[in-house]
Structure 1
Amino acid sequence: MGLLRYSINVTLDGCCHHEAGLPPDEESMAYWTARIAEADALIYGRLTYEMMESAWRRPASGPWPDWMTARDIPFAESIDRAKKYVVSGTLDAVDWNAELLAGDLAAEIRRITRGSNGILAVGGVTLPLALADLGLIDEYEFLVHPVLAGRGPTLLSGLRERISLEVIDRREFPSGVIAQRYRPILVSE
């Protein structure tokens, strides 16, 4: 059975918006490239899918855009070729190596995890909140940046119930970014 891992960049004050001043350094970009490459598939909601596609899909013309640096291209190649699932009630179709999930969220995610023996990487803000509320996330992975955003959407805002976590891995980058992975602690009643 596949492992469902939610991964995201976050500021010290909990902001998880992609425009919160979190430019990746060399090491964190390499970290995310490796994470994307190791995943069996990526699972996004519509907004995250569309945002990632607009930035990281290989142009039909072939070459990568001029704005990409040498460190961006391996990430772009990994995400471009990755299998993707898109959760949406508004899209009629998806491409970019993607399958649309429009049915019951819990049933669809369970179907995907049963069909995998690897890591299924979930990104974004809204979809992970729904998955956390359903108790479907097996691991949480946060790259905590030494930034105070002061505004923007915050990590898992609106979570219905507290989820206790235990640290399973921690790594500090020279830039001050700290990568932390957690597993939910199952509490017996």
Structure 2
Amino acid sequence: MKPLRYSINVTLDGCCHHEAGLPPDEESMHYWTEEMERADALLFGRVTYWMMESAWRKPATGTWPDWMGEWQIPFAETIDGAKKHVVSSTLDKVDWNAELVRGDLETAVRHLKQEPGEGLWVGGVTLPLALAELGLIDEYEFLVQPVIAGHGPTLLAGLRERIQLELVDRQEFRSGAVAMRYRPREQNAAAPR
């Protein structure tokens, strides 16, 4: 079964609003590009799908916008070309290399995890909380920003049961950010859901 990895930028106080941390730089964009390339497909909720599409979908002109630096283009091309699954009960259709995921979330995601490949990548706030509650996340990857936001949505807010994690990788950035990758400890995997 291929793993499901939850990846997100987060501030020191747990805020995971996309504008709360440091602005992206060349080093962090290179890191996220490599991480996204490791995924066979991306899994988004409706809001994250819309946000990512509005920022990273290649314009119909075939030319990236002027605001985008050369160092951002590899990430843009990676996310633009990636296969995407969008979990939504309100959308009628999606495009941008995407297909809708409907019905029972646990059944649908377990089915996606059983398909051949190296792994799935999920981002956002609401969908990862539901997936964590179901015990479906196999790896948690946080790019911790050296910022205290003081407000905004916080990481996995409302989680009913704590999840004990084991640190499996750590990488420091020149900006002071630290990427940390965790896996759930075995007792979590064996616990009844």
Q: What's the TM-score, normalizing by structure 2?
A: 0.96
Tell me the CA shift for residue 38 of structure 1.
Answer: 1.7
C-alpha distance in 1 between matches for 2:11 and 2:116: 31
How far apart are residue 21 of structure 1 and its match? 3.5
Structure 2: gaps (5+ residues): none
Q: CA-to-partner distance for each residue in 1:106-137, whole Å, 9 max, x for gaps? A: 00000000003312000000000000000000
Match in the other structure for 2:7: 7
Matches within 5 A, 1:64-79: 64-79=64-79
CA displacement at 1:37 relative to structure 2:
1.5
Corresponding residue for 2:94? 94
Structure 1: give runs of 5+ residues left out of the alignment: none
Once residues 34 and 165 of structure 2 are traced to their aligned partners in structure 1, the CA distance between those partners, rounded to angstroms, is 24
Q: Which residue of 2 aligns with 1:24?
A: 24
CA distance in 2, matches of 1:51, 1:24: 16
Identical amino acids, percent of aligned pairs: 69
Tell me the residue number matched to 2:119.
119
Distance 1:93 1:116 in 2: 25
Runs of 4+ aligned structure 1 residues displaced above 2 Å come to none
Which residue identity lines up with residue 104 of structure 2 in the other structure? D
Tell me the CA shift for residue 61 of structure 1.
1.3
Deviation at 1:186, TM superposition (A): 2.2
Give 1:22 deviation, angstroms.
Answer: 2.6
Count of aligned pairs: 189
* Whole-Å separation in 1 of the counterparts to 2:97 and 2:116: 17
Q: CA RMSD in A?
A: 1.0
Equivalent residues of 1:43, 1:121 under 8 A apart: yes
Aligned to 1:131, the other structure's residue is in SS state helix
The CA deviation at 1:36 is 1.1
Instruction: Give the whole-Å Cα distance in 2 for the aligned partners of 1:21 and 1:10.
Output: 7
CA distance in 1, matches of 2:76, 2:124: 17
**TM-score computed with the length of structure 1 as normaliser:** 0.98
Tell me if structure 2 keeps the 8 A contact 1:5–1:141: yes
Which amino acid in structure 2 is aligned with residue 12 of structure 1? L
Rounded Cα–Cα distance in structure 1 between residues aligned with 2:59 and 2:168: 38
Alpha-carbon displacement from aligned partner over 1:46-103 (angstroms, at most 9, x marks no partner): 0000000000000111101111000111100000000000000100000000010011
- Which residue is equivalent to 2:159? 159
Partner SS, residue 32 of structure 1: helix
Alpha-carbon offset, residue 26 of structure 1 = 1.4
Counterpart residue number, 2:54: 54
